A = this chain, B = another copy of it.
Amino acid sequence: MNGSETIVYRKLTSLERTIMSTSAEITFGNRDDRKLVERGLTFSPKFDDHGLIVAIAQDADTNEVLMVAYMNEESLRRTLEIGEAVYFSRSRQEIWHKGATSGHTQIVEKILTDCDQDALVMKVRQQGPGCCHAGYRSCFYRNIQESGDPVTLEQEIEDQSYDPDKVYS
């Protein structure tokens, strides 16, 4: 197993227990048959021309969308291995174990995939006060308020749940 230096030992989640019940290597199905991809029960994720798949983290209790990020094959495997969200940072072009700096990890309870298997929804338990580097519990803290020239936003979540300057300083 690659990158085992990032593994955190703690109580296993249900996803981890499921995953660790088999010792087989983690591999993905092929995508040769579109019907099987859509109707079958083999996980055959589609990575785009940058080798990435979009992954949405959703609060396991409230269903609030917390953040949207991307995974490459390696980060998806590591997510499955450690039961915590591991993304691929497009800006830094590197594997990104969410919360490695802030402690705000995301314990993954369940991963859903869609009809054509080119998107993932993860039901997570966000650790710490929030997932967003801007200090909010969710990255989606603003909504479109008024159309016009230009379109304006308003706060959807009024209060920051932590001070990002203290966490990321």
Binding site for B on A (CB under 8 A): 15, 18-22, 24-29, 38-44, 54, 56, 58, 62-65, 67-68, 80, 110-115, 119, 121, 132-134, 136, 139-156
Contacts and interface: CB of A to CB of B under 8 A. Distances in A.
A70 to B, nearest CB: 9
State the copy count for this chain.
Answer: 2
15 contacts: A15-B144, A21-B146, A25-B149, A38-B134, A41-B142, A41-B155, A43-B150, A63-B65, A68-B119, A80-B144, A112-B144, A113-B140, A113-B144, A115-B132, A115-B134
A15 B110 CA distance: 32
B147 A18 contact: yes
A133 to B, nearest CB: 7
A24 B147 CA distance: 7
B150 A133 contact: no
A108 B114 CA distance: 21
Given A42-B150, A150-B42, A144 B111 contact: yes
B19 A114 contact: no
B27 A151 contact: yes
A121 B65 contact: yes
A156 B63 contact: no
Nearest to A148: B24
Given A121-B140, A148-B22, A156-B112, A68 B39 contact: no
Given A41-B153, A112-B156, 10 more contacts: A42-B150, A42-B151, A43-B151, A58-B63, A65-B65, A111-B144, A112-B144, A113-B153, A115-B133, A115-B141
